[in-house]
């Protein structure tokens, strides 16, 4: 049975309010999540740094704008600086678009840059 090692959850607290994302590292090792906000989709950025070290078993919650378009990935510190992780495969990438056309939310997990961590969205 496959068990997800990384969990990312999103909750909408209102029609035009910010959302809270929680990143939980369920891996048995440290990971380095990184997030990027599309400047063409949102003028507001999350209230958390773009990248951080997440020890095994830790969780970090932060707010993102309701109209947020981004990607999130995880990689080792020697290959990850802001905007660079995607260039060094393998990298599992989760992409989020909130309040898109028809007020719909979308996400996908992309393996086009390779696979380095299991991912679950709850």
Domains of the chain and CATH, by start: 6-121 (2.60.110.10)
Tokens for 95, please give them: 């992409």
Q: The tokens of 93 are what? A: 């990438």
List the one residue out of 105, 46, 33 whose CA is nearest residue 72.
Answer: 33
State the 10-residue block means of pLDDT for the chain, 122 residues long.
46 57 88 78 71 89 76 58 55 80 83 83 78
Residue 4: partners with Cβ closer than 8 Å, 6 or more residues away: 26, 118, 119, 120
In contact, 52 and 32? CB cutoff 8 Å: yes
pLDDT computed for residue 2 by the predictor? 38
CA 89 to CA 68: how far, in whole Å? 25
pLDDT of residue 58: 95
């Amino acid at each position: 049975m496959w068990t997800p090692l990384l969990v990312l959850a999103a909750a909408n607290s209102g029609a035009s309010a910010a959302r809270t994302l929680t990143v939980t590292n369920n891996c048995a090792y440290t990971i380095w999540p990184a997030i990027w906000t599309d400047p063409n989709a949102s003028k507001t950025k999350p209230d958390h740094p773009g990248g951080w070290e997440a020890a095994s078993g830790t969780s970090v919650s932060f707010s993102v704008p309701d109209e947020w378009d981004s990607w999130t990935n995880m990689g080792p510190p020697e290959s990850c600086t802001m905007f660079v992780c995607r260039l060094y495969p393998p990298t599992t990438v989760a992409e989020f678009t909130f309040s898109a056309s028809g007020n719909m939310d979308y996400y996908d997990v992309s393996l086009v840059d390779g696979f380095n961590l299991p991912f679950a969205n709850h």
